[in-house]
Structure 1
Amino acid sequence: MSTGDIELRRFNDLAPARQALIDVYADVRAPLLHLPNYRVEVFAERLDRHAHEAGWEAVLGYDNGEAVGYAYANTLSADDRWWSRMIEPLPEGYTAVPTMAVKEIGVRTPWRGIGVARRIHDELLAWRSEERATLLVNPLAGDGKVERLYATWGYTVFNSQQPSPESPKLVAMIRPRTLQAL
């Protein structure tokens, strides 16, 4: 199997993608579904909320018609709660730079480790107009492997946050939307 076999589809409307996003999420997060913040119902509520925010867009990867991975993002406004939840104060003007928040990335186990997540991520960023992309990662995920992976994609740590009392403390990472800007 290669990443070239994966068909990528973009969605700006949640309706045709919602069930596939929930199904892939449930599979990807299966070991964590017993935790309050990771329950499928909580994800579905979060997804519905995010899909009504400015600039929502998703990319789903399909292998022979089966959804195998996804990523979705929103545009952040300068006063978005994303910024206000940061633990450390941000530098003056930091939130004024057009930024997209990659809210979720997930790939089913059989398709991990071959570049599917990176391909989905890059497609999500490819046609966006924002100058930068930011995301949150649990530093414990994969014993730090996920954070290190995002670093290879050009992300650097700039802060941290705990989005809700039920969620773990997350590391906030950021990068230019296009790597040419590095």
Structure 2
Amino acid sequence: MTAEAIKLHRATDIDAVWSTLIEIYAEVRAGQLHRPHYSVARYAERLARHASEPGWEVLIGYDGTEPVGYTYLNTLQPGDRWWRRMTTPPPEGCADTPTVAFKEGMLRPPWRGRGIARQGHDELLAARPEEQVTLLVNPLAGNGKVKALYQRWGYQEISTQQPSADGPVLTAMLRAIREPASAE
């Protein structure tokens, strides 16, 4: 199954996709659900909070009728707690530039390594009005492979933060949504 065969479903109504997101999360995080930060209940709290924030949007990939994964994001406001939680200040003007944050992305194991995550990422960003995109990644995820993947996608490390006391310290990364036009 290639990325091109995956059908993408966009939604902004959390009620319509809630159970699908919870089920995918529980499957992908099955080995970590015993840890409080990764429990389904804590994820549900985060999901509800994220979905209530401005510009929330999710993209769910389907292989036929089978959901294979999702990614969601929302718009960051100047002064958003996202920026205030950084351990070092973000680059000058960064927090004042229109920004969208990728808050969560999950891909079920049988569909990994086929370009599907990148397809969903790029599709969500394609129609966004913001100028830049940021995300948090656990630098230990996949023995560093997840962070390296984001670096290949053009993200650069800007700081770290620990959004919850019982969660990991995460690397904050940033990139432009669109490549700047060349001066020709």
Contact 2:91 2:158 in 1 (8 A): no
Using a 3 Å threshold, how does the CA distance of structure 1 residues 179 and 19 change in structure 2: closer, same or farther? farther
Letter in 1 for 2:102: V
- Post-superposition Cα deviations, 1:60-86, rounded to whole Å, max 9, x if no partner, equal 000111111100001000110000000
Q: Which residue of structure 2 lines up, in the alignment, with residue 47 of structure 1?
A: 47
Alignment of 1:139-178 (within 5 A): 139-178=139-178
- What is the SS of the residue equivalent to 1:135? strand
Is the Cα contact below 8 Å between 1:154 and 1:179 reproduced in 2? no
Measure the CA separation in 1 of the matches of 2:87 and 2:113. Answer: 32
TM-score by length of 1: 0.96
Distance 1:91 1:179 in 2: 19
Decide whether aligned partners of structure 1 residues 67 and 88 sit closer, same or farther in structure 2, where only a CA change above 3 A counts.
same
Question: Does residue 118 of structure 1 match 2:118?
Answer: yes
Please, which runs of 5 or more residues in structure 1 have no aligned partner? none
User: How many pairs are equivalent?
Assistant: 182
2:96 aligned partner: 96
Indicate if the aligned counterparts of 1:103 and 1:135 stay in contact, CA closer than 8 A: yes
Contact 2:11 2:57 in 1 (8 A): yes
Aligned partners of 2:159, 2:94: CA distance in 1, in Å? 12
Q: Is the contact between residue 9 and residue 60 of structure 1 (CA under 8 Å) also seen in structure 2?
A: yes
Q: How far 1:91 moved relative to its partner? A: 3.9
Equivalent residues in 2 for 1:75-94, closer than 5 Å: 75-94=75-94
Tell me which residue corresponds to 2:26: 26
Root-mean-square deviation (CA, aligned residues, Å) is 1.3
Query: Which residue does 2:69 correspond to in 1?
Result: 69
Structure 1 distance, partners of 2:152, 2:58, is 22
- Report the TM-score when normalising by structure 2: 0.95
**Secondary structure of the structure 2 residue equivalent to 1:15:** helix
1:5 equivalent to 2:5? Answer: yes
Per the TM alignment, residue 39 of structure 1 is displaced from its structure 2 partner at its CA by 0.5
Indicate the SS of the match to 2:34: coil
Q: CA deviation at 1:92?
A: 4.0
Unaligned runs of 5+ in 2: none
Question: What is the percentage of aligned positions where both structures have the same residue?
Answer: 54
CA contact (8 A) 1:11 1:57 kept: yes
